[in-house]
Structure 1
Amino acid sequence: MSNTPLTEGKLVGKAVRRREDPRLLAGRGRFVDDIALPGMLHAQFVRSTVAHAELASVDVSAVLEVPGVVAVFTAEDLELADIVAQLGRPLSEFVPTAMPVLARDKVRYVGEPIAIVVARDAYAAEDGLEAAKVSYATLPPVMSEEAAFADGAPLVHAEAAHNTLVDVSLFATEGIDRIFEVAPCVVEVDTRTGRQNALPLETRGAVAHWDDREEQLVLHTCTQIPHQVRTVTSRCLRLDERAVRVVVPDMGGGFGQKCVVGREEIAAAAAALRLRRPVKWIEDRKDALSASFLAREQHYRARAAFDAEGGILALDTDVVCDMGAYSCYPFTAGIEPLMASAEMPGVYKLPAYRVRGRAVTTNKAPTGPYRGVSRPQYVMVMERLFERAARELGLDPVEIRRRNVITDFPYTGVNNITYDPGSYLESLNLCERLVKDEGWYEKQAAAAAEGRHIGIGYSCFSERTGYGSAAFAQRKMKVVPGFDISEVRMDTSGVVTFTTGTMNHGQSHETTMAQIVADELGLDIAKVRLHQGDTDRITYGFGTFASRSITIGGSAVRLAAAKLGDKLRAIAASRWGVGPDEVELAAGAARRRNTQDVLPYKEIADIAYLQAHLLPKDIEPGLSVTATFDVFNDGTFSNATHACVVELHAGTGQVEILRYVCVEDCGVAINPQVVEGQCRGGIAQGIAGALFEQVTYDAQGEPSATGFMDYKVPTAHEIPDVLIHHLETPCAFTETGAKGAGEGGTIGAPAAVLNAVNDALRPTGVELDHTPITPETVHRALNGAPSLELSS
């Protein structure tokens, strides 16, 4: 179908300026909170103040007496169906949990919505919350993995024995215990990672109104998955799906937190339906930090066997993920333990593997996906195992990785995943060389002589991207994401509009996908426009997550553009009386090869729309085509190696990052500048998890972090400049040759930072395996505290 190979195009592979920037930088973006409709009301939520309790009574009668309050609704008033996320696994492995839109009989975390207050303005809505009276019959909260598994522990959900929602044991290689018995070297790690908030700049929000003309509920919301929001909203409100339209305006970040269906958006839509007036809800930062979807709280106990030369022989891992109070829709509580279990071997040639993955439910805000989903955690575990084995065997930490990374492709691992070609060894070698060329090893030695503490750490990993239907089906998901659909159409002026089922929230889709279309059709990029985020306009789509936008969505876009190109060539060929192969597309026109004959797209469009009698009988009027794309193999694998250089300050325990190097390979980089932006942003979030961010709770389940005074977010001062080098291994399974690039920075950073800190701590004999790494822990280690706990 293609006119020319994509990599030979004029735009793909170039740092085309972002088309979004003029609008956004000039303040002309349109976000949810910018939407103002006639007669619009404002909503906020009465939320639970306790972590675990039966609801004794919910008295909202006084709320209606507050000036400005128009209505207040509880679960009994709205009678909404629950949100239920399910896996197709047997009940012995997976326990589904029903999440009510508004709590009915029980609350399971501080911040759970109980009632929605609707008022004439946002201030009156907040005042109305104060008048609500909720009585609780408190229950003991379950606030940790240990408490959840304890004998006689309170049950967060009666149906979840031992507070376990998912319990899967996978890949138990025969004879693995014997391997550990005879291996020359066995190392272990016990690793915990802190609970985090994805922290998009724009909090969640929604504006809903009823359209009488269309007999349709229109929901404007900042979501990464508009079609899934439509499906769940229609089911909760018991409406035909046609009667719900979800529209996504500009969105200020998501990072996975917005790729699950929230309760508040549905409640706001229900209130608008009931009142027949527009209702707006904007999440405040306190609720965003404490009651929105969180992530990352995981515990790994892992051991690995190595031979005398440093070759890994076996890996045995127990994974426990604290998923909070409910399963998220559509991914369920299985998202983190299943990801970790399936993909933990990563870039290494692992002969034997055994893993048990569990999702535990606790009285904390629910867990949803966050950039990387378990991969920052299990990569950190793998890299710690290799660091420990290197020390045990007296090997260089880079050399032991070099001996174990996959080099022959395609490679099918012990986890039954087939890895497409990548540059694992090349990225490792180049990253090490860049660090050496800058003289960091010499600087480290000189600093040690001065009594300073500089450490160098590496992280080598892959990022599975472009999960298709086959990959998600292996997880036995009831909702199986995968394919994407794109429509490309040309109007009579020769301008092309195209759609994608993915959802931009900062990834530059308006630019990168337009580059693909413009190259395919030989068209000025100024004449190519993207339309997304409207469930009435886009047939169906699974949105943006798991680095699928360019791999899946971009491939569908290219296929659709190629089909339109075929039609343009066919129409031009019929006018000249030649075959379509005699026609090429360039500079906004069809051109007859080896002649001066040119037919501008405007003239072809006139024929297709206004002079259809001139079309051949086998060509339909109009210039609109649709294409779908799915990946039916195991996905595509981007890869990278990160290196981090840190200095530890004895006086304060501060970890200062002196240098950060990234060598990444995401196949064909459609726009290298955008790829680098994704990489830098991801590394910043990875550093945040390694050193700063954590949501903790007291014994009664009260979250510690309800504002930026408590939730430590790195600033530009803490994030270093990042040296990025690109390698390119084109993907054979996507139409663009691209692999995903959205999550790699976050995946590799925690391990690189932790390894660098441990390298700097080596003279102290202390090793840290937990994140975030606190200044207190580093200070104790450097100052020889005798009772130092070897975790942070």
Structure 2
Amino acid sequence: MNGGNHGGNESGHPRAGDGARLVGTSARRREDPRLLTGRGSFTDDLRLPGMLFAQFVRATIASGIVTSLDLSAVREVPGVVAAFDAEDLALGDITARLGRPAEEFVPTGMPVLAGERVRFAGEPLAVVIARDPYAAEDGLEAAKVTYDARTAVVDDAQALAPGAPLVHEEAAANTLLDVSMFASAGIDEVFDEAACVVHVETRTGRQNALPLETRGAVAAWDDREQQLVVRTSTQVPHQVRTVAARCLGLDERAVRVLVPDMGGGFGLKCVVGREEIAVAAAALRLGRPVKWTEDRKDALTASFLAREQHYDVRAAFDAEGRILGLDADIVCDMGAYSCYPFTAGIEPLMASAEMPGVYKVPSYRVRARAVTTNKAPSAPYRGVSRPQYVMVVERLFERAARELGMDPVEIRRRNLITDFPYTGVNNVTYDPGSYLESLDLCERTLREEGWYERRDAAFAAEGRHLGIGYSCFSERTGYGSTAFAQRKMEVVPGFDISEVRMDTTGALTVTTGTMSHGQSHETTMAQIAADELGLELARVRVHQGDTERITYGWGTFASRSIAVGGSAVRLAAAKLGEKLRLIAAAHWGLAPDQVELARGGVRRADGGGRMSHREIADIAYLKAHLLPKGVEPGLAATASFDVFNDGTFSNATHGVVVEVHEGTGQVEILRYVCVEDCGVAINPQVVEGQCRGGIAQGIAGALFEQVTYDAQGEPSATSFMDYKVPTALEIPDIGIQHLETPCAFTETGAKGAGEGGTIGAPAAVLNAVNDALRPTGVELDNTPITPETVASALEHA
């Protein structure tokens, strides 16, 4: 599909001609030479003079009162320099809020170090500072903590049960958020009169985002600049600066946050962690650099988690398979605290606002709740609720197709949005996409490869269980301030700011408020700027992750980097391009409209000559007396960008072929096809990398990964022996096909691409598994689908 040329060329900003464009090509990643040769610099690589090392004394029970915390023996351990508890550091709580009435939302402060009350196993109680990491670990062993243990609340059913213990006294019924939305008039009658009503109740397992690099921070006081410099592995450096300054009672100017190379984040690092604030406080207190690196056990058990959700949903259909209404009850187990800045509402609000997705749903009603339990708190994780609600909606369509005797692909065709822009029953307006085209292409691919015949023949001839499953979905990307404000967030993300600056040699430095943790921003942002100004890619340097050099930024999450950050880069480069044209035109004695940007600089429209970037920069910096009147010396420009609508919507269809081995219950993926549309792909190879990585995480959630707890709230998955992570052997080769519907709301025509793979995979895998098991009468609705789950279901069929 080709939606035509993007309107960026009609925006009044001429773009450089003369030569092939970089946007739309798979330019080689600028990051790779450094990262693949071991020259990357991550938080744990940092070494500062006089550096100390931190680790945290953590609670060993899930719920209780700390009756005593004795650190005296810790301070006597050889190599230990200091040990601080909550009273020693006296820091304010980290509190995230929504501007909702008290009956809808209850804010809960998360102390940097827990004092009297413990709310999950692994909660930090004290920080131990030592001369080396080993002494810090020895110091932890010497800490003496006694508790008055209380009954732990370990799941949503227990949390909501009458008379349940309260995790927070202020949160009645252990409920942090309770909202009812979109109650369409007459929806009960719609269900009463429908030809077909289907029901799905599903639970999804709690997961860890599991970045390759765990969390970490190095904090040090810079006496010359009078600044606390915090180097940390975060997706949101400016938010870390804000919280650190507030907790420490400093001006924000007195805190600088720097982000080295980062080995993944996936949303886990787009919230502010209490440990990085404690490390900053310790460094300020001691006047020496302090480093903390999270070990894998703490990362699995005490870091931010996600995804534990319970859906109870009905759908009404007419006799021809057209959906008439959705009625949903959503409960999300958000753990012990709200994360900053998104709050505990991040998962239920996302699910309730966007569940209708790619389908024309005329009636909708939803209740969404965030409950608090004695588990590590939840944060956004790649896809945020969309893998779950897409799975539920796709299961409803599969079930309705079976009840109505229809083909499961055909029932989707009849309900997909095809006329754009489309405003849904959820008051969201969807920009143009290729919903039907992606489904048709995905199905055609599997049919032409012969998978339908192989599935039928395998069971008939050999009794093997092969199945085919699909999922159709959209990925809302490029959330602007308007979209986040609809959630009534007290802290409203959205815009991004970029500065471009050309030096005297004509080389360009670009700043962005987004933060790469593997998405290739050093390449894709440079492609955008280089195309705009007619530069070689090698002459563009992208700078990110420094609150001192970057005016402000919201970081990277929700697939916003290219859609929002890339648009700001393009606008800033266009502003600089105007200045280049003005200087060149004055040099030739021409009007600005008589010159144009070209590869390597500026050319006369009449073909009479060219000026290189270096020649123009020479005037701008070294011969300012030659500048035209009103043009200031130097070559720099700044621009911001925001999306003042409901965002942009990428879309895709995933098709999966699986074999379920009846003897072992194991699910083997034989074929995986992804047809995706993210608008203009700035770098198609990078988009494919995003798809493959996301799909791997989606498969992990569908088949393998789950954080479990015992009845006392003690985490059971404390290592990779228990937390099952797929390897390359379990992830199949993934076929990716691109469609392109340019976005009208961004400066590049691009939509986001970061989360789609994760969103579509669980639904497609689950549907394929159920298709394979259809001859047995077994039907599964929960994830992960473990071999034990399948074997047990078959045994009881």
TM-score (norm 1): 0.98
Partner of 2:444: 433
- The letter for the 2-side match of 1:94 is F
- Deviations along 1:244-281, whole A, 9 cap, x unmatched? 00000000000000000000000000000000000000
Deviation at 1:597? Answer: 1.2
Deviation at 1:581? Answer: 1.6
Partner of 1:777: 789
Partner of 1:477: 489
Partner of 1:297: 308
Deviation at 1:2? Answer: 2.5
Quick check: 1:643–1:661 contact (8 Å CA) kept in 2?
Answer: yes
3-state SS of 2:48 partner? coil
3-state SS of 1:196 partner? coil
Distance of 1:235 and 1:621 partners within structure 2: 38
3-state SS of 1:406 partner? coil
User: How many residue pairs align between the two structures?
Assistant: 785
3-state SS of 2:369 partner? strand
Instruction: Find the partner of 2:554 among 505, 520, 542.
Output: 542
Quick check: 1:6–1:736 contact (8 Å CA) kept in 2?
Answer: no
3-state SS of 1:83 partner? coil
Partner of 1:244: 255
Deviation at 1:86? Answer: 0.3
3-state SS of 2:608 partner? coil
Partner of 1:648: 660
3-state SS of 1:460 partner? strand
Quick check: 2:159–2:372 contact (8 Å CA) kept in 1?
Answer: yes
Quick check: 2:229–2:256 contact (8 Å CA) kept in 1?
Answer: yes
Deviation at 1:8? Answer: 9.2
Partner of 1:491: 503
- The letter for the 2-side match of 1:572 is A
Instruction: Find the partner of 1:460 among 464, 472, 475.
Output: 472
Q: Are residues 1:319 and 2:322 paired? A: no
Distance of 1:6 and 1:639 partners within structure 2: 31
Distance of 2:718 and 2:19 partners within structure 1: 51
- The letter for the 1-side match of 2:481 is S
Deviation at 1:459? Answer: 0.1
Distance of 1:506 and 1:35 partners within structure 2: 19
Instruction: Find the partner of 1:266 among 267, 273, 277.
Output: 277
Instruction: Find the partner of 1:615 among 627, 640, 660.
Output: 627
Q: Are residues 1:564 and 2:592 paired? A: no
Distance of 1:259 and 1:91 partners within structure 2: 26
Q: Are residues 1:388 and 2:399 paired? A: yes
- Deviations along 1:362-401, whole A, 9 cap, x unmatched? 0000000000000000000000000000000000000000
Instruction: Find the partner of 1:706 among 695, 718, 738.
Output: 718
Distance of 1:10 and 1:737 partners within structure 2: 14
- Deviations along 1:266-310, whole A, 9 cap, x unmatched? 000000000000000000000000000000000000000000000
Deviation at 1:611? Answer: 1.2
3-state SS of 1:458 partner? strand
Distance of 1:663 and 1:401 partners within structure 2: 16
Distance of 1:137 and 1:611 partners within structure 2: 75
Quick check: 2:239–2:272 contact (8 Å CA) kept in 1?
Answer: yes
Distance of 1:58 and 1:9 partners within structure 2: 66
Distance of 1:622 and 1:35 partners within structure 2: 35
Deviation at 1:586? Answer: 2.0
Distance of 2:97 and 2:238 partners within structure 1: 18
Quick check: 2:17–2:534 contact (8 Å CA) kept in 1?
Answer: no
Q: Are residues 1:65 and 2:83 paired? A: no
Deviation at 1:614? Answer: 1.0
Q: Unmatched 5+ residue regions in structure 1?
A: none
Q: Are residues 1:626 and 2:638 paired? A: yes
Partner of 1:672: 684
- Out of 608-617 and 12-21, give the one that drifted further: 608-617
Instruction: Find the partner of 1:169 among 163, 172, 180.
Output: 180
Deviation at 1:3? Answer: 2.2
3-state SS of 1:657 partner? strand
Partner of 1:724: 736
Instruction: Find the partner of 2:591 among 562, 579, 595.
Output: 579
Instruction: Find the partner of 1:753 among 765, 768, 778.
Output: 765
Quick check: 2:677–2:739 contact (8 Å CA) kept in 1?
Answer: yes
Instruction: Find the partner of 1:254 among 254, 265, 278.
Output: 265
- Deviations along 1:60-85, whole A, 9 cap, x unmatched? 00001100000000000000011000
Instruction: Find the partner of 1:101 among 83, 108, 112.
Output: 112
- Deviations along 1:628-679, whole A, 9 cap, x unmatched? 0000010000000000000011121110000000000000000000000000
Deviation at 1:170? Answer: 0.2
Partner of 1:551: 563
Distance of 1:5 and 1:219 partners within structure 2: 40
Deviation at 1:165? Answer: 0.1
- Deviations along 1:26-46, whole A, 9 cap, x unmatched? 000000001000000000000
Q: Are residues 1:139 and 2:144 paired? A: no
Deviation at 1:155? Answer: 0.5
Q: Are residues 1:406 and 2:406 paired? A: no
Instruction: Find the partner of 2:203 among 192, 196, 201.
Output: 192
- The letter for the 2-side match of 1:329 is Y
3-state SS of 1:43 partner? strand
Quick check: 1:52–1:107 contact (8 Å CA) kept in 2?
Answer: yes
Q: Are residues 1:376 and 2:387 paired? A: yes
Quick check: 2:16–2:598 contact (8 Å CA) kept in 1?
Answer: no
Partner of 2:704: 692
Instruction: Find the partner of 2:340 among 305, 312, 329.
Output: 329
Distance of 2:123 and 2:20 partners within structure 1: 51
Distance of 1:178 and 1:505 partners within structure 2: 49
- The letter for the 2-side match of 1:299 is H
Quick check: 1:466–1:635 contact (8 Å CA) kept in 2?
Answer: yes
Deviation at 1:182? Answer: 0.8
Distance of 2:280 and 2:97 partners within structure 1: 24
Deviation at 1:690? Answer: 0.2
- The letter for the 2-side match of 1:518 is A
3-state SS of 2:178 partner? strand
Partner of 1:77: 88
The correspondence of residues 513-524 of structure 1 with structure 2, limited to 5 A, is: 513-524=525-536
Partner of 2:9: none
- The letter for the 2-side match of 1:734 is T
Q: Unmatched 5+ residue regions in structure 2?
A: 1-11
Quick check: 2:360–2:417 contact (8 Å CA) kept in 1?
Answer: yes
- The letter for the 1-side match of 2:124 is P
Q: Are residues 1:306 and 2:314 paired? A: no
- The letter for the 2-side match of 1:112 is E
TM-score (norm 2): 0.98
Distance of 2:616 and 2:19 partners within structure 1: 25
Distance of 1:238 and 1:569 partners within structure 2: 47
Partner of 1:33: 44
Distance of 1:303 and 1:547 partners within structure 2: 30
Instruction: Find the partner of 2:604 among 575, 582, 592.
Output: 592
Deviation at 1:113? Answer: 0.2
- Deviations along 1:525-564, whole A, 9 cap, x unmatched? 1000000000000000000000000000000000000000
Partner of 2:6: none
Quick check: 1:471–1:634 contact (8 Å CA) kept in 2?
Answer: yes
Q: Name the CA shift for 1:168/1:6 in 2 (closer, same or farther; >3 Å).
A: farther
Q: Name the CA shift for 1:409/1:696 in 2 (closer, same or farther; >3 Å).
A: same
3-state SS of 1:294 partner? coil
Deviation at 1:468? Answer: 0.1
Deviation at 1:587? Answer: 2.5
- The letter for the 2-side match of 1:204 is R
- Out of 691-700 and 613-622, give the one that drifted further: 613-622
3-state SS of 1:56 partner? strand
